[in-house]
């Protein structure tokens, strides 16, 4: 078994993680993976560095709650969430969600749900550094909250 939730500074390799997810499962018909990456532009400004802060303890708990709810709603066979923290640069990978289920419909929905909930419910905060050295915290988006609300039961 591998940990289902990883908060880490290190980068990750999607193929390796997807292979770990499928290991020992002969009942999987669908694997859906999502990778979030750092954009070099936000709110019309060039971004040089993105720094991720989190709340140790609560982050793991919040992610596990989201993961288990996805299992409950879509009968997943396996799932894995990796979220990086610390300093990152444009094109870097920030987050990975991978889910495996018997059928693709469930896997697509579950991955989408986990990302939407993660955006509004897991305690991570982004801080951007612009090319002139100015720093600013990224504001929460109304669109993220709307994305979450579509999954309400």
Partner 1 sequence: MLNVLYFASFREILGQAQEQLPADYQTVDCLLKDLAARGETWQQALLHNQNLQIAVNHDVANRQTAIKAGDEVAFFPPVTGG
Residues that bind partner 1 (CB under 8 A): 36, 52-55, 57-58, 61-62, 83, 94-95, 115, 118-127, 137-141
Q: Which is nearer to partner 1, 54 or 100 (CB)?
A: 54
Q: How far is the CB of 124 from partner 1 (least distance, A)?
A: 3
Alpha-carbon span 135 to 137, nearest angstrom: 7
Shortest Cβ 102–partner 1 spacing (Å): 27
Q: Where are the alpha helices (DSSP H) in the chain?
A: 14-22, 58-74, 104-121, 142-149
User: Of the two residues 17 and 77, which places its CB atom closer to partner 1 in the complex?
Assistant: 17
Least distance between partner 1 and beta carbon 86 (Å): 13
Q: What is the phi/psi pair of residue 71, to 5°?
A: -60, -40
Toward partner 1, which CB reaches closer, 21 or 95?
95
Burial class (CB in 10 A: 0-12, 13-18, 19+), 57: exposed
Which residues, including other chains, have CB under 8 Å from residue 122's CB and lie 6 or more apart? 54, 59, 62, 63, 66, 83
Nearer Cβ to partner 1 (4/102): 4
Least separation, in Å, of the C-beta of 34 and partner 1?
10
């Amino acid at each position: 078994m591998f940990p289902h939730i990883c908060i880490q500074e290190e980068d990750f390799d999607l193929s390796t993680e997807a292979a770990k997810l499928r290991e020992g499962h002969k009942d999987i018909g669908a694997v859906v993976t999502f990778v979030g990456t750092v954009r070099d532009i936000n709110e019309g400004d060039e971004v040089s560095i993105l720094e991720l802060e989190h709340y140790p303890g609560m982050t793991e708990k919040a992610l596990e709650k989201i993961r288990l709810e996805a299992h409950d709603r879509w009968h997943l066979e396996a799932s894995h969430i990796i979220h990086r923290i610390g300093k990152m640069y444009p094109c870097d990978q920030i987050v990975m969600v991978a889910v495996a289920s018997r059928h693709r419909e469930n896997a697509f929905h579950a991955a989408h749900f986990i990302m939407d909930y993660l955006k509004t419910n897991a305690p991570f905060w982004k801080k951007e550094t612009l090319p002139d050295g100015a720093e600013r915290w990224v504001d929460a988006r109304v669109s993220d909250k709307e994305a979450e609300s579509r999954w309400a039961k």
